[in-house]
Amino acid sequence: MASPVNHPGTWESDVPGKGVFPTITPFRYTETLHFSHVGQPILNFTFNAFHVESKMPLHRECGFIRMQPETNKVAFIIAQNSGLVEIEEGELKGQQLNLQTHALARISFAKEPHVKQISRLFQLRPDGKLEQTVSMATDNQSMMQHLHITYCRSA
């Protein structure tokens, strides 16, 4: 089965993803993931999320994915359009990658409430679909789910 870590490509949400958090109105969104490389053992990624009806760009993040040689340790080096920069680390276990915030910083005028911690689970399912679940803790809320979405590989 193709894995985004070994085979760069494009993944698109098959059905709209669901966004929730105790402090917001639940929403739906679509998202496209691009993975590429320039021949180094590092992946570039861009995750672009869109409004489900208007198709307007919403959340965007991009960065690099590195693996520690000879280990299953994975690091995501991430910049988000909200003004957040982040390092997430975790271990690849089978078809599952669980990442946790390792370092986080933001622009001085970032919107409140501020994110304190992010946790992501990527799971490549037996049917070939990729699933992403994102949880976060903010100034006001302990760790709760924010996003859940599944993607099909399109290129």
Residue ranges in contact with ligand HEM by CB under 6 A: 19, 21, 23-24, 27, 29, 49, 58-59, 113, 115, 118, 134, 136, 138, 146-147
Q: Please identify, using beta-carbon distances, which residue of 67 and 104 lies nearer to ligand HEM.
A: 104
Buried b (16+ CB within 10 A) or exposed e, 33-44: bbbeeeeeeebe
- Minimal distance in Å, beta carbon 36 to ligand HEM? 20
Rounded to whole angstroms, the Cα distance separating 76 from 50 reads: 22
**Minimum CB distance to ligand HEM smaller for 29 or for 64:** 29
HSE, CB side, 13 Å, CA atoms: give it for residue 15.
Answer: 2
Beta carbon nearer to ligand HEM, 1 or 100: 100
Cβ nearer to ligand HEM, comparing 32 with 95: 32
- For the CB of residue 74, give the shortest distance to ligand HEM in the complex, in Å: 16
d(CA 53, CA 119): 28
Question: Would you say 65 or 147 has its CB closer to ligand HEM?
Answer: 147
- Residue that is written with structure tokens 């399912």 in the block: 125
Minimum CB separation of residue 39 from ligand HEM in Å reads: 28
Minimum distance of ligand HEM from residue 30's CB (angstroms) = 9
* Residue from 154, 114, 135, 120 nearest 19 by CA: 135
Let me know: does 101 contact 87? Beta carbons within 8 Å: yes
Distance of CA 99 to the CA centre of its chain: 9
Least distance from ligand HEM to the Cβ atom of residue 101, Å = 9
